[in-house]
Amino acid sequence: MMRNVLRGALAAGLAVVFVFLAGAGGAPVRAQSADGVVTVEGGQLAGAPSPLGDDVMVYRGVPFAAPPVGDLRWRPPQPAPAWEGVRDATEAGPACMQPALPAEAGRFYNPGVDRMSEDCLYLNVWSAARPEDRAPVLVWIYGGGLRIGNSADVTYDGTRLAQRGVVLVTINYRLGAFGYLAHPLLSAESEHAASGNYGTLDQVAALGWIQRNIAAFGGDPSRVAIFGESAGSWSVNHLMATPLARGLFHAAIGESGGGFGSRGRAEPKAEIESAGERLVEVLLGDGVTPSLEAMRAAGADEVQAVAPDLVLSTANVDGWVFPDTVYNIFAAGEQNDVPVIVGSNADEMSILGGAAGAETLAQYRESIRDEYGEHAGAFFETFPAETDEEARQARMASGTDATFGWEMRTWARMMETVSSPAYLYFFSRVPPAPDADRYGAYHTAEIPYVFDNFGVSPHPYANRDYTDTDRKLSDILASYWVNMAASGNPNSDGLPQWPAYDPEDDAALHIGDTITVEQGIRKDRLDFFDRYYAAQRGGKD
């Protein structure tokens, strides 16, 4: 393996921004009173015992940056203002601006948004630790396509994980046009000639706040692991790629999402700025000359109401947050060198409209020829179909592999360029329910297992008929995740041994009804996408 070498020029260029975003300059605050009041850099916070376990204190709605409103809209996050007295930290802050969740997706993924605001840069902390404990820290980044999500969703309640010995933090970050709009006018006012990527910058700012303050909650700032699912996993991938996050976390866990070739990748700056120009034209209307003043004067609801197809919720290669594409950064060994857990689920696309455009065999063949061009023949050999139903299943299987399975295996393989190990998993346990045969191990299915949160959601569809098998798997997965935060290695006595990933063996931890180590899971299918994405990058088949 190659070790990641931080180039001197890059280090020098990052010095100023790292001091601000990481908050270097002062020891972490470590003060907690007997009644659970903690002192952080902005003042004092009063939390409350968790409803799911009164041995855990919860601090909700903690500001980690200034409200990004008015003149701060579409700017990097600024430090949160201090407050006087003891701040009530018993109510979560509002979710960031976002559209309503589609009805079908809401059956499986419930961000729990009952109020939202542009003023949304808050985090939540669960801790059963004392200040002197220096417990490992897990930081959750929600998914939702960088368009929706909420750190206060009860599905992500950190009580059970806190009871296992970590300090659990969930963070908000700007979404959609608020989080990812790039525009030439915004780039022109930036000292870095960069715009967009505000959601990523929010995540960096939250991690900087955690470095400076988590010891007040009993956490160890030298043992911070970030984890996320779907777009939260894209975000983890992005944080590994951006030099601005260097030193802010010490392990990473990506569940079903990466930015190497399919979704979640950092797009060219010019392309994203062009999309931003189209969005601003629609936002301001005919006859209005685009200006920063007019853009920031528009109401939050007006920005949110712009047609979704004009909003590119994606990172961009701006030369500052992302000096290159995620793929190229990893290929050069320039990612943040920390150990990772990465993996995906067996039937990701079953709830994501994965058979769209392939309701019949004829539609399937036509759509694949249009999408894959000269690679269509190899695609049909890899995902054959002779009936309408086979076409539907092949389309969903290929979407699962292209968007999730390939991304996560690629992530594990690309850790060969640095010194830290990767641990690859494949989740195939089908949560029990009457519709289990239809949806299988769907996208988001692993989240309640990881959080050990069966039955906590008020959403009736989230509370399935989990069995002792599920509870045993949950105990194992939660233990792996906690161990990763504690030591950078998921293994410990009493757990099935999880080997570090070796591209030659291509072995993954298969989390099904039981846990086994299996080589070459879906190898032929993922190898096809290796060749396809290499060709897309201009490489050789």
Q: What string of DSSP letters covers 108-140? A: T-----S-EES---EEEEEE---TTT-EEEEEE
Is 100 a member of any domain?
yes
What pLDDT shows up at residue 257? 96
What pLDDT shows up at residue 2? 38
Clarify whether 192 is annotated catalytic: no
Q: Which long-range contacts (CB under 8 A, 24 or more apart) does 525-528 make?
A: 525/382, 525/383, 525/397, 525/398, 525/401, 525/405, 526/401, 526/405, 526/406, 526/409, 528/378, 528/379, 528/382
Map tokens 């910058």 to a residue: 201
Is 189 a member of any domain?
yes
Catalytic position from the list 238, 250, 443, 510: 443
Is 466 a member of any domain?
no
The token pair at 477 is: 């997965």
Is 410 a member of any domain?
no
SS3 of residue 46 by DSSP: strand
What pLDDT shows up at residue 54? 94
| Counted domains in the chain | 1
Q: Which long-range contacts (CB under 8 A, 24 or more apart) does 286-293 make?
A: 290/183, 290/185, 291/185, 292/185, 292/186, 292/189
- Do residues 318 and 243 lie in contact, with contact meaning Cβ atoms separated by under 8 Å? no
Is 125 a member of any domain?
yes
Domain membership of residue 126 as a residue range: 8-338
Catalytic position from the list 334, 348, 407, 446: 348
What pLDDT shows up at residue 27? 37
- Do residues 358 and 364 lie in contact, with contact meaning Cβ atoms separated by under 8 Å? yes
Is 316 a member of any domain?
yes
Identify the segments of the chain with pLDDT beneath 70: 1-34, 102-112, 458-463, 539-541
Written as one letter, the residue type at 19 is V
User: Which CATH number does the domain housing residue 64 bear?
Assistant: 3.40.50.1820
Alpha helices by DSSP H, listed for 247-354, are: 269-284, 292-297, 300-305, 326-331
- Do residues 135 and 104 lie in contact, with contact meaning Cβ atoms separated by under 8 Å? no
The token pair at 185 is: 């006018």
Map tokens 């589609």 to a residue: 102
Helix and strand counts by DSSP (H, E) for the chain: 19, 18
Is 196 a member of any domain?
yes
- Do residues 292 and 185 lie in contact, with contact meaning Cβ atoms separated by under 8 Å? yes
CA-CA distance, 116 to 95, in Å (whole number)? Answer: 4
Clarify whether 443 is annotated catalytic: yes
What pLDDT shows up at residue 106? 57
What pLDDT shows up at residue 9? 32
- Nearest by Cα to 65 from 157, 197, 174: 174
What pLDDT shows up at residue 340? 98
Residue 162 sits at φ, ψ, to 5 deg, of -60, -35
Catalytic position from the list 151, 230, 350, 398: 230
Q: Which residues contact 374 (CB under 8 A, 6 or more apart)?
A: none
Clarify whether 235 is annotated catalytic: no
What pLDDT shows up at residue 5? 32
What pLDDT shows up at residue 357? 81
Is 444 a member of any domain?
no
What pLDDT shows up at residue 8? 33
Question: Global pTM?
Answer: 0.92
